[in-house]
Amino acid sequence: MHEAIRLSLEKSLQGEGGPFGAVIVRDGKIISRGWNQVLKNNDPTCHAEMVAIRKACHKLKDYSLAGCSIYVNCEPCPMCLSALYWAGIDKIYFAAGRKDAADLGFVDDFLYQELLRQPDDRKIPIKQAMRTEALAVFKQWAKLDDKIIY
């Protein structure tokens, strides 16, 4: 956790992005480090956790981070939390909470609340279209012998 907090301070003061840092650990060893690079890369998905996930998967040559834990200086936003689930991370440790981030103006807590709403009640309209065509692709993929479900 010390390293995640150190990264959050150092890199945010360098102007790379918000004050967020992440460290992925396996067997007591740091596999990857990440820090918020939203401003540096003009990419709203370059959160500390996302950067750390990408680096760890690249290093391990695996899309699964089973057996790993992540330490983040702030509770993951919904995007990062979802990515951590997709990555199969074993445990998440965080320091500050999403309401602490909201106090600084970040939308993490708002997004958690927004996800609880029904699609028609969300701030951004969301509509379903061309389901039949999409399902046809799913059916073809389901027939593949070498498919990998992740």
Distances (CA, A) of 22 to 8, 34, 48, 96, 132: 8, 5, 5, 12, 41
- Those residues whose C-beta lies under 8 Å from the C-beta of residue 42, and which sit 6 or more positions away, are none
Of the candidates 49, 75, 114, 133, the residue annotated as catalytic is 49
For the question of residue 75 being annotated catalytic, the response is no
Q: Which residues are paired to 23 by β-bridges?
A: 33, 71
| Residue keyed to tokens 């939390």 | 81
Question: Which positions are catalytic?
Answer: 49
